[in-house]
Every structure is written in C-alpha cells, then in structure tokens.
C-alpha cells in the first residue's frame, strides 16, 4: 500500500417494468446473490450499501437501459435522475449511462444473459461529483467506466469533491468463467489568480478525491488497471487521479493562502480490493491486475509589499493514500505510482511563477510563514498479494517540496510504501526538498520502506542497503 488516495463515483440503472408472478419467481436470486426479488428487498439492499432508496427505479426485463438516449424499440428505458436497479431476465442485458447530478446504479444478471453488464458515469459539471456502481453477474462480464473532471478558476474559496465507488462480483464457474473490469479517470483543477488593492486577502482551496474498487471473481479474474475517456470508454494507461491547486495573489498587505490545509484526511485516495470477500479469498482463480497513477501539485505565489504573508500546503494527515489487496491462484500484478509536488514562493513584487531550489526569503516581506506537509502514506494495514509465487508488486513514490527557506519555513515529509506478497515486491522512493534529494530502494516478499524528513534533513528505513 502506499500514499495518497482517493474520491468516489456512483452509478445506478433505470426503467420500471413489472413482472408477472411467474417471471418474478424466475428472477428470484440464487443463494449468496443480491436479493432484488421484491421492491422491499431492493430498498433493504440499497440501505445496506448506504444509498438513499427514495425514488428508486427498478427495471426488470430483457433489455434494461438508463440514460439520456433510449436505444430504441424493445428496450425498457428510464432516466438516471434517481437511483436505478436493473435486473436482467434470461438472455437479457443491462446498460447504464449517466451524467446527472448523482449517478447510482445496481445491475444484477443472475440468469444467463446475452451481454456484459455495462455502467458508464461521466461527470464534468459541478464541484461535487459522485458515481456509485454495483454489478453482479453469474454468466456475463461486468464493466464499469467512470470519468470525473472538476475545474474552477473563480473566487478565493474553492472546494471540490469527487467520489467513485465500484463494486463488482462475477460468480461464473470454471467452465463458463466471467470477469470484472473497472476503468477510472478522476481530475480536479482549482486555480485562483487575484490582483487587488484589498488590505487582506484570504485564499482557501480544498479538494478531496476518492476511488474505491471492490472486485470478486470466482474464476475469470479482475482488472482495475485502465483509465477512462470523456466518451465513456476504457483507454490505455493506468487508473488516473490528478489534483492541481494553484494560486497567485498580489495585494499591498496581508495574504493568506491555504491549500488542502484542513486536517480532514487524505486528499487523493484509492483503495483496490480484489477477491478479498468471503467465498472468494483463498479460493478464487483468474488473473488480477491493479494499476494506478496518483498526482498532486500545489502551487502558491504571493506578492505583497508590506505583508504579512502566510502560506500552508497540505496537512499532517492529508496528501496521497493508496491501497491494493489481491488474491488468486493465478497471477496477480500491481503497479502503483504516487507523485506530489509542492511549491511556495513570496516576494514584495514581480512574481508570476513559483521559483524552486534557490533561497530567496530576502525578496519577501519581513513577516513570512511557509508550511508544507508532504505525506505519501500507505493504506489501512499492509498491502497484500496472496495465492501465486509469480505475483508482482511495484511501488514508485516521489515527493518534491520548495519554499523560500526563511526563518518562517516549516517543511515535513513522510513517504511510506509497504507490501507483503507470495511473489516479489519492489519499492522505489525519492524525496527532494529545496533541491536536495534522498532515495530509498527495497525489494523482497515483505517490504516496509520509509523516508521521513524535517526540512531537507531526511532519514530512510527499510531499504535493502540498511
């Protein structure tokens, strides 16, 4: 497991089609499957996964579709304004495509169906984006695609929250195995550039991104290793989380810049759990793939002739958080990348970009306070891979911090990467503070590596050379 992590998306599918009593009997769930045989059972299940069931639309039939454009005759169609539950009849299919305020879908295909359970969530409007997708299939594959993108360049108080939650279960036997696939792209970009004669200018930027993926497949394997496009397709490259907060303020006196300064947990979080549920852990087959790339960049620039200037980036419990747990008798692979960049710069005038490396506190107003926290942290417990001696786990972590290096400078960093595997784990870590770089490398079946820094004074633990 690693460092920064995650926000989350919600998807549900719609259209109401009442079944006759015989059809309802056929639709009853098999032992161990989600019970959606009655409306009361649906409501109970939604509450169990913390989804408000009010207004839920239940679709039962051969062709269930929820989204803006109905495919045509022969389809049961509905909108995605409310949570949607889709239950495919024998030979049927479920499809969901959502771009509304909140996207929530549950897709169930316990009888033999003709096509993949498909749920697509595309969110590009608003500062709060949520996608929740829950898919269960006994015969066909499950595919979930989430694309979330938040941008804001207005105001001195900017907040953003994006959340994607994907739960998939494929229960097909070895003779007719089925699989799970999750593709996610999640980005937040907040920018505030202000020049004002105001005596006091306070800026607050806050963003939280969360991705949670839970996949169980009895025999067909799991993939949480691809990004998504704005068209709702999977694409090459890893699951992607990007967060960019930037601010340039020019004012005659007091400037306060706070970027992710509230101590409210990790700002970029991802958690991937493959075959960790009862009935799958220790018995599942099929290849597992997990691949993600987390990126966080914070930039604060201040011009003030009189000051004071105060700049704060991240918090003690903020930053990036990443978790992966995998199990299969076949091969599991995990490739994770976490990168964080922080830069603070202040001057009496003339700054347009954030300078790095060279000390320049002498150019700033006399009262200058700069604080940076740089945690790239492991998730809950040690990351695990079990079931095959050919398993591979790769962790790459990097953090860069720069400020003016004056008396008011406070910089700390804590980079932590760990894993335990039946195969091999490689960890590569680098921290660069004001131009000075510290590196740490480790590999083996049980790895727990850290770089801890106060300013540019860094200590490594768990490296192979220790």
Q: At residue 362, what are phi and psi to the nearest 5 degrees? A: -65, -20
Q: Is the peptide bond before 308 cis (omega within 30 degrees of 0)?
A: yes
**Whether 2 contacts 426, CB under 8 Å:** no
In the chain, how many domains are there?
A: 1
In degrees, rounded to 5, the angle at the alpha carbon of residue 357 between the alpha carbons of residues 412 and 257 is 55
- What whole-number distance in Å separates Cα of residue 264 and Cα of residue 273? 23
430 belongs to a structural domain:
yes
pLDDT for res 364: 93
Q: What is the pLDDT of residue 5?
A: 35
Reported as a single tens digit per residue, the pLDDT across 188-210 is: 999 999 999 999 999 999 999 99
Per the CB < 8 A criterion, the answer to whether 171 and 138 are in contact is yes
Cα–Cα nearest to 219, from 171, 251, 263, 252 = 171
Asked if residue 363 belongs to a domain, the reply is yes
| Cα–Cα distance measured from residue 91 to residue 94, given in angstroms and rounded to the nearest whole number | 11
Determine the distance from the C-alpha atom of residue 51 to the mean position of all C-alpha atoms in its chain, rounded to a whole number: 19
Task: Answer yes or no: are the C-beta atoms of 4 and 321 closer than 8 Å.
Answer: yes
Q: Which residue do the tokens 């306060």 mark?
A: 256
**237, β-bridge pairs:** none
Structural domain includes residue 50? no
414, part of any domain: yes
Q: Is residue 305 part of a domain?
A: yes
Instruction: Report the distance separating Cα 44 and Cα 59, nearest Å.
Output: 17
- What's the pLDDT score for residue 376? 76
Tokens of 169: 């279960």
| Domain housing 269 | 2-13+86-461
Residue 175 falls inside a structural domain: yes
| pLDDT score for 17 | 32
Task: Please state the three-class secondary structure of the chain as a single string.
Answer: CEECCCCECCECCCCCCCCCHHHHHHHCCCCCCCCCCCHHHHHHHHHHCCCCCCCCEEEEEEEEEECCCCCCCCCEEECCCCCEEEEEEEEEEEEEEECCCEEEEEEEECCCCCCCEEEEEEECCCCEEEEEEEEEECCCCEEEEEEEEEEECCCCEEEEEEEEEEEEEECCCHHHCCCEEEEEEEEEEEEEEEECCCCEEEEEEEEEEEEEEEEEECCCCEEEEEEECCCCCEECCCEEEEEEEEEEEECCCEEEEEECCCCCCCCEEEEEEECCCCCCCCCCCCCEEEEEEEEEEEEEEEECCCCCEEEEECCCCCCEEEEEEEECCCCEEEEEEEEEEEEEEEECCCCCCCCCCCCCHHHCCCCEEEEEEEEEEECCCCCEEECCCCCEEEEEEEEEEECCCCCCEEEEEEEEEEEEEEEEEEEEEEEEECCEEEEEEEEEEEEEEEEEEECCEEEEECCCCC
Q: Is residue 47 part of a domain?
A: no
The reply to whether 295 falls in a domain is yes
**Distance between CA 196 and CA 45 in Å, rounded?**
53
Say what the pLDDT of residue 322 is: 95
Positions in the chain whose pLDDT score sits under 70: 1-33, 378-380, 465-466
At 22 the pLDDT is: 31
Q: What pLDDT is recorded for position 114?
A: 86
Identify which of 141, 129, 158 has the alpha carbon closest to the alpha carbon of residue 241: 129
Residues, the chain, total? Answer: 466
């Amino acid at each position: 497991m690693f460092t920064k992590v995650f926000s989350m998306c919600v998807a549900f599918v719609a259209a109401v089609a009442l079944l006759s009593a015989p059809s309802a009997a056929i639709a009853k769930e098999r032992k161990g499957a989600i019970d959606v045989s009655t409306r009361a059972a649906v409501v109970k299940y939604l509450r169990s996964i913390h989804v408000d069931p009010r207004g839920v639309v239940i679709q039962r039939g051969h062709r269930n579709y929820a989204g803006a454009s109905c495919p045509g005759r022969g389809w049961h169609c509905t909108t995605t304004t409310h949570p949607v539950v889709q239950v495919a009849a024998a030979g049927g299919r479920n499809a969901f495509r959502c771009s509304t305020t909140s996207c929530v879908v549950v897709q169930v295909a316990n009888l033999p169906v003709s096509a993949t359970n498909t749920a697509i969530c595309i969110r590009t409007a608003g500062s709060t984006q949520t996608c929740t997708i829950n898919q269960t299939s006994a015969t066909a594959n499950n595919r979930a695609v989430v694309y979330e993108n938040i941008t804001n360049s207005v105001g001195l108080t900017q907040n953003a929250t994006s959340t994607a939650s994907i739960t998939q279960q494929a229960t097909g036997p070895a003779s007719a195995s089925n699989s799970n696939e999750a593709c996610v792209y999640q980005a937040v970009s907040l920018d505030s550039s202000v020049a004002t004669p105001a005596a006091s200018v306070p800026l607050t930027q806050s963003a939280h991104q969360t991705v949670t993926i839970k996949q169980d497949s009895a025999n067909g394997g799991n993939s949480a290793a691809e990004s998504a496009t704005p068209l709702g397709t999977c694409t090459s490259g890893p699951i992607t989380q990007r967060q960019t907060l930037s601010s340039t303020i020019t004012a005659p006196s007091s400037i306060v810049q706070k970027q992710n300064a509230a101590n409210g947990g990790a700002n970029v979080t991802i958690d991937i759990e493959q075959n960790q549920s009862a009935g799958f852990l220790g018995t599942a087959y099929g290849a597992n793939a997990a691949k993600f790339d987390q990126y966080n960049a914070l930039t604060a620039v201040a011009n003030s002739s009189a000051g004071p200037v105060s700049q704060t980036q991240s918090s003690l419990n903020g930053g990036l958080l990443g978790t992966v747990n995998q199990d299969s008798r076949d091969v599991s692979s995990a490739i994770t990348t976490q990168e964080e960049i922080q830069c603070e710069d202040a001057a009496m005038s003339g700054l347009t970009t954030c300078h790095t490396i060279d000390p320049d506190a002498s150019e700033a107003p006399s009262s200058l306070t700069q604080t940076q926290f740089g945690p790239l942290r492991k998730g809950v417990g040690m990351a695990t891979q079990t079931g095959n001696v050919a398993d591979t786990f790769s962790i790459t972590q990097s953090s860069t911090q720069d400020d003016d290096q004056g008396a008011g400078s406070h910089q700390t960093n804590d980079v932590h990467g760990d894993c335990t595997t039946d195969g091999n784990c490689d960890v590569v870590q680098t921290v660069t503070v004001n131009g000075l770089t510290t590196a740490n490398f480790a590999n083996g079946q049980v790895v727990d590596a850290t770089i801890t820094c106060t300013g540019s004074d860094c200590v490594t633990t768990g490296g192979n050379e220790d």
